[in-house]
């Protein structure tokens, strides 16, 4: 089967800035409780996803286009670009912002901790 992703626009994600585009690769149902999100995410220029904590799940970002600033659990801020992987472990917090004039694009996968799968 071939299909296009379902597109969702979200305003001020996690108290971040701007409208972030979520291109859902799999629906929540298709993830069968093992994960809660698998999406290609586009943060517009000067947009962001605000600081938030992951309880019962982990979330890697794989940067595919553009540059941004990733704020890690310890508060450190690192410039990221294509090919970088940002890893957040269970119980950690993070945020990401795009202070540039081009969109920042990445793949995000929120995987549930074993035994914390949802129905």
- Is residue 12 within 8 A of residue 47, CB to CB? The reply is no
- Which residue has 């995410």 as its token pair? 41
Of residues 3, 81, 14, 4, the one with CA closest to residue 48 = 14
- Alpha-carbon gap, residue 14 to 93, rounded angstroms: 12
- Which residue has 């220029």 as its token pair? 45
Average pLDDT value over all residues in the chain: 95
In this prediction the pTM is 0.93
All domains of the chain, ordered by start, with CATH?
6-60+73-112 (2.60.120.10)
User: Which tens digit of pLDDT belongs to each residue from 37-60?
Assistant: 999 999 999 999 999 999 999 999
């Amino acid at each position: 089967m071939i299909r296009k992703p379902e597109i969702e626009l979200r305003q001020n994600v996690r108290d971040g800035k701007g409208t972030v585009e979520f291109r859902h690769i799999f629906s929540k149902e298709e993830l069968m409780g093992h994960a809660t999100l698998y999406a290609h995410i586009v943060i517009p220029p000067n947009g962001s996803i605000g600081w938030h904590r992951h309880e019962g799940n982990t979330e890697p970002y794989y940067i595919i286009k553009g540059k941004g600033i990733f704020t890690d659990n310890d508060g450190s801020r690192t410039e990221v670009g294509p090919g970088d992987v940002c890893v957040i472990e269970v119980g950690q917090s993070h945020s990401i912002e795009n202070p540039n004039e081009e969109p920042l694009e990445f793949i995000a996968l929120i995987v549930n901790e074993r035994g914390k799968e949802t129905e």
